[in-house]
Amino acid sequence: MANHKSAIKRIKQSAKRRLHNRYYGKTMRNAVRKFRATTNKDEAVAMLPGMQKLLDKMAKKNLIHRNKAANLKSKLALHVNKLA
């Protein structure tokens, strides 16, 4: 166990941040899953800007890499275009 006050504080901070990051990561994954399950083109077109905004925020906060965000945005746009 940590002996210094600063180390104890650091443990508490990292645990809190970990929970925060896990929550947002899971929220993002669920949103992507829900988006990919969409079969209605109008609904998907309406959801796309929100999804892109969410992915950009996750990349900005370093929860995902910026290239991963770009790849996901590209794949989601392809998904929208393939819908009839």
> How confident is the model over 11-38, as pLDDT tens digits?
999 999 999 999 999 999 999 999 999 9
For the residues of 31-60, what is the DSSP string, one character each? Answer: HHHHHHH---HHHHHHHHHHHHHHHHHHHH
Q: Quick check: 1 pLDDT over 80?
A: no
Domain residue extents for the chain = 5-82
| Global confidence as pTM | 0.83
Structural contact between residues 28 and 55, judged by C-beta atoms closer than 8 angstroms: yes
Structure-token pair, residue 67: 């290239």
First to last CA, the chain: 59
> How confident is the model over 44-67, as pLDDT tens digits?
999 999 999 999 999 999 999 999
Structural contact between residues 72 and 81, judged by C-beta atoms closer than 8 angstroms: no
Residue 12 has what pLDDT?
95
Residue found by looking up tokens 């079969």 in the block? 39
CATH architecture for the domain at 5-82: Up-down Bundle (1.20)
